[in-house]
Amino acid sequence: MNIAVYPGSFDPVTNGHLDIIKRASDIFDKVIISILENNSKEPLFTVEERIELLKRSTSDIQNVVIDSFSGLLVNFLREKNARVIIKGLRAVSDFEYEFQMALMNSKLAPEIETLFMMTSSKYSYLSSSIVKEVAKHGGSLNELVPEEIVGEIYKKVN
Ligand code: ADP
């Protein structure tokens, strides 16, 4: 089985993430969306809440599972028998950091490949932090995040 891991904060999941998830799930037998637990950023949603929001947003995709990890990402992949890390790229500004991470991960685990997927242009401006900012100031989240989770985001920021 060809298993890929899509890691990130997903605080909360956006339509940009979902676009990558759908495209990756067409290519791989199984995609494990994995929430990074040891993040230095102070999150809005707990890991459990983020898992729940991701589950609701991906309920129609058969070959996706939601999980979380702490420590080294490559160790998580080895545990899950996965060989590919999926990363989304929005802009040149994402590149340098992701390039460094990909090289370090391949040094730590040469058998694991990082695969970059370009954002769809309509989501290139989207990030979890901009979604939180818009919600905080009462802006519309229409087309920014999955419909199923809009209410949860407003509830949390207010
Ligand atoms: P952020 O907080 O920056 O929105 P995450 O850490 O949750 O993002 O991102 C997880 C992964 O999803 C990263 O590989 C990131 O580059 C990618 N990603 C985030 N937003 C988008 C988007 N709009 N289009 C494509 N990829 C994205």
**129: annotated active-site residue:** no
Q: What is the pLDDT of residues 3-46, one digit of tens each?
A: 999 999 999 999 999 999 999 999 999 999 999 997 777 899 99
Tell me the helix, strand and coil percentages in the chain, rounded to 5. Answer: 45, 20, 35
12: preceding bond cis by omega (within 30 degrees): yes
Specify the residue with its C-alpha closest to ligand 1, atom 2. Answer: 128
C-alpha triplet 82, 115, 53: angle, nearest 5°: 70
Distance 107 CA to ligand 1 centre (A): 23
User: Ligand 1: residues within 6 Å at CB?
Assistant: 8-10, 14, 16-17, 20, 87-88, 90, 94, 119, 123, 126-129
Residue 42 backbone phi and psi in degrees, to 5? -75, 115
pTM of the complete model: 0.95
Q: Which of 22, 23, 90, 136 is labelled catalytic?
A: 90
For residue 49, what pLDDT is reported? 97
Active site residue 17: yes
Per DSSP, what are the bridge partners of residue 85? 5, 114
Distance 13 CA to ligand 1 centre (A): 9
pLDDT digits (tens, 9 = 90+) for 47-106: 999 999 999 999 999 999 999 999 999 999 999 999 999 999 998 888 999 999 999 999
The residue whose CA is least distant from atom 3 of ligand 1 is 127
